[in-house]
Structure 1
Amino acid sequence: MSRPLILIGAGEMAQIACEYFEHDSDYDVVAFSVESPYLTSPDLAGRPVLAYERLADIHPPGTVDLFVAIPASQLNRLRTRFYLDGKARGYRFATYISSRAFVWRNAEVGENSFVFENNVVQPFVHIGNNCILWSGNHVGHRTVIRDNVFVASHAVISGYCDIGSSSFIGVNATFNDGIKVGEDNVIGAGALVTKHTEPGRVYVGSPAQAIPNRSSFDVRL
């Protein structure tokens, strides 16, 4: 029996999430929701768009699940804000794992996370809450991806890595075994990370180097 789901957001990520949840899960997407200043249309994809401030009046906690369908905006802070607020209100959160992803039986994936097709998640991996893994990544054995992380497509994260919370991993980034990535990192597209990284930094190149005098919060995602 399908469970009703409301997607927080009304942009491209929300519309993509709607497609996946509707056609490859047991959820039934019944509405979208955004904050009132961003409510520019009453409906999207044949479903109502509701004011987030009034969501509990229309769909109280316990009657629907939520998924925050927002990408890496503000270094994942925007998605995280809605996720934490929804939890504080008492809502339960959905997680989506594509039927075309390979996720080993003892890998763990937290709530409000989204794993696209063709991801390979090996044994003993832990993926935290509020994470997005776009299509085609490799996550090696015993790696930990901490909360609020966004991994773009075709990253190779080798075994025993630790990806710090709220980080952004760019397309085709590669990590050697056992790498510890600091929280709030931005790892650029195609970077080869061979050494542990410091929190709040931007790393680019092969081998990856921190950009001097530049914080990850200076990057527009």
Structure 2
Amino acid sequence: MLKEKVIIFGVNDFAQLAHYYLTNDSEHEVVAFSVHQAYIKETSFFGLPVVPFETVETFYPPTAYAFFAPMSPAKMNRVRHDVYHEIKAKRYRMISYVSSKSTHFNNQIGDNCFILEDNTIQPFVTIGHNVVMWSGNHIGHHSEIKDHVMFTSHVVLSGHCVVEPFSFFGVNSTIRDGLVIAEGSLISMAAAVFKNTEPWSVYKGNPAVKSSVSSRDIHF
């Protein structure tokens, strides 16, 4: 079977990891990397060409190639959001990577998702577009994760939760069942959330309390 040819957006650690996972654990063939012209420092990355995003379709037309943009959560996932829509505007299909070493149950998963090993995604969970889930998370049954969200590692999201766009979950954070995590919520490392959150807010501690800092001001 022919492997689908994919361009990865980025030339950083996330891009390197994506190249490794797609090469060793998917039915895709990475053929190039792409970033905006202003960020090109070398013309190759891991032996593959780095092409300017502004003109990428002249080298790799969207009729024959797909894209993958597994980017960091910079500016509360808003940078990844912007790139996602720039790629969509060029009419590329965007793939998702779901590790063969994750546990899932025919869940609905959107495009440009990067889901690594040892994630447990229980039945009746839905995941939107442009979501990154690092390794070792538990996503409880009947939960809904919307677009442009980032889970780090060892996060427990209990059942029947709704996660609104642009949210971020730090390592070892825990969310009680049935909660709504509002748009742009930043759940800090090891925080335990027992109540619905407020939009663009930061939560720390156990039990988690709202910080005076807005997550809009977080730049990572």
State the TM bucket, normalised to the shorter chain: over 0.9
- Taking only aligned residues, the RMSD between alpha carbons, in angstroms, comes to 0.7
Give aligned pairs, total. Answer: 219
Unaligned runs of 5+ residues in structure 1 are none
Q: CA deviation at 1:61?
A: 1.1
What are the superposed Cα offsets for residues 160-188 of structure 1, whole Å, 9 maximum, x if unpaired? 00111011111000001001000011110
Q: CA deviation at 1:191?
A: 0.4
1:176-207, CA deviations, whole angstroms, 9 ceiling, x for partnerless residues?
10010000111100000000000000001001
**Secondary structure at the residue paired with 1:17?**
helix
Distance 1:69 1:201 in 2: 24
Cα distance in 2, alignment partners of residues 27 and 186 from structure 1 = 33
Matching residue of 2:38:
37
TM-score of the aligned structures, taking structure 2 as reference length: 0.98
Indicate yes or no: 2:135 matched with 1:130. no
Q: 2:198 aligns to what?
A: 198
Q: Distance in 2 between matches of 1:160 and 1:183?
A: 17
- Aligned counterparts of 2:196 and 2:96: Cα–Cα separation in 1: 30
Aligned to 2:216: 217
Q: How does 1:5-154 map to 2 (within 5 A)?
A: 5-105=6-106, 107-154=107-154
* Ranges in structure 2 where 5+ consecutive residues have no aligned partner: none
Given that 2:70 and 2:114 are in contact with CA atoms closer than 8 Å, whether structure 1 keeps it comes out as no
CA distance in 1, matches of 2:17, 2:173: 23
Structure 1: distance between partners of 2:218 and 2:81: 17
Secondary structure at 2:64's aligned position in 1?
coil
Show structure 1 runs of 4+ deviating over 3 A: none
Letter in 1 for 2:72: P
Q: TM-score, normalised by structure 1?
A: 0.98
For residues 100 and 62 of structure 1, what CA distance do their matches in structure 2 show?
31
Secondary structure of the residue aligned to 1:48 is: strand
* Deviation of 1:73 (Å): 1.0
Q: State how far apart, in whole Å, the 1-side matches of 2:101 and 2:49 are.
A: 29
Whole-Å Cα distance in 1 between the matches of residues 159 and 197 of structure 2?
A: 16
Any idea what SS the aligned residue of 1:25 has? coil
Which residue in 1 is equivalent to 2:170?
170
Work out the percentage of aligned pairs sharing the same amino acid.
39
| Per-residue Cα deviation, 1:18-44 (whole angstroms, up to 9, x for no partner) | 100111000000010000110000101
Q: CA deviation at 1:75?
A: 0.9
**Following TM superposition, by how much is the alpha carbon of 1:100 offset from its aligned partner in structure 2, in angstroms?**
0.2
Higher deviation after alignment, 29-38 or 68-77: 68-77
Counterpart Cα distance in 2 of 1:84 and 1:178: 31
- Matching residue's letter, 1:219: I
